[in-house]
């Protein structure tokens, strides 16, 4: 689902993230939070590259669950602010957000011939009716009482 044009920039980004992990490991950190069962079953997994965040925070902080200093993922708010700033700096007059991109992604999948169940799975909806409403495929009729 990733456009070819993003492959190289994503690889460059991941290389930088890997360097950051290496620095954190060298400093005695570099561990992410894993659910208890996974952490118990795979004690070294929290420091492995495959479990690291694709978009890590710029600095480490104390994990309130464990009291350990860790690098968490970048905050949801930071992503939302960056998207709004990018939309504005691109000169787009209409409002745009992460949700706008998610909605557009789903709509374009349907326009490209993907079935509603595939879109449901990609969006993580439990009920296909949510996906149908979300993508405006289905508008429930509301009856006055």
pLDDT at res. 138: 57
Q: What is the pLDDT of residue 143?
A: 47
Predicted TM-score (pTM) of the model is 0.74
Q: What is the structure's pLDDT at 2?
A: 86
Please list the pLDDT of the chain residue by residue as tens digits (145 residues).
Answer: 788 999 999 999 999 999 999 999 999 999 999 988 999 999 999 999 999 999 999 999 999 998 999 999 999 999 999 999 999 999 999 999 999 999 999 999 999 999 999 999 999 999 999 998 888 775 455 545 5
**Cα–Cα distance between 39 and 19 in angstroms, integer?**
23
B/e letters for 129-145, b = 16+ CB within 10 Å, e = fewer, are: eebbebbeeeeeeeeee
């Amino acid at each position: 689902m990733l456009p070819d044009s993003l492959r190289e920039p994503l690889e460059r980004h991941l290389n930088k993230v890997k360097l950051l992990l290496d620095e954190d490991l060298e400093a005695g950190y570099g561990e992410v939070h894993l659910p208890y069962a996974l952490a118990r079953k795979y004690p070294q997994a929290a420091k492995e590259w495959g479990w690291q965040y694709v978009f890590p925070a710029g600095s480490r902080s104390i994990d309130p669950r464990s009291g350990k200093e860790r690098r968490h993922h970048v905050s949801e708010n930071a992503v939302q602010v960056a998207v709004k700033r990018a939309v504005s700096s691109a000169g787009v007059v209409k409002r745009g957000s992460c949700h706008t991109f998610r909605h557009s992604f789903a709509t374009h999948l349907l326009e490209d011939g993907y079935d509603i169940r595939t879109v449901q799975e990609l969006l993580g909806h439990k009920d296909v009716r949510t996906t149908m409403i979300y993508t405006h495929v289905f508008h429930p009729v509301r009856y006055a009482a």
